[in-house]
Copies of this chain bind each other. A is one copy, B any other.
Amino acid sequence: MEVAGDPGLTGGVDILQVGVLEIRLSEGLAIAGGRALRLSVREFGLLAELARHEGRIVRREDLYQRVWETPLRHGDRTIDVYVRKLRVKLEQSLPEWRFIHTHVGFGYRFAPERSHDFHTDATTR
Contacts and interface: CB of A to CB of B under 8 A. Distances in A.
A20 to B, nearest CB: 16
> Can you tell how many copies of this chain the complex includes?
2
A103 B56 contact: no
A5 to B, nearest CB: 9
Contacts of A29: 56-57, 103, 106, 109
Nearest to A38: B103
Contact of A104 (B40, B103, B107): B40
Interface of A: 24, 27-29, 36, 38-41, 44, 55-57, 101, 103-107, 109, 111
13 contacts: A24-B56, A27-B56, A28-B105, A28-B106, A28-B107, A29-B56, A29-B57, A29-B106, A36-B55, A36-B111, A41-B104, A41-B105, A41-B106
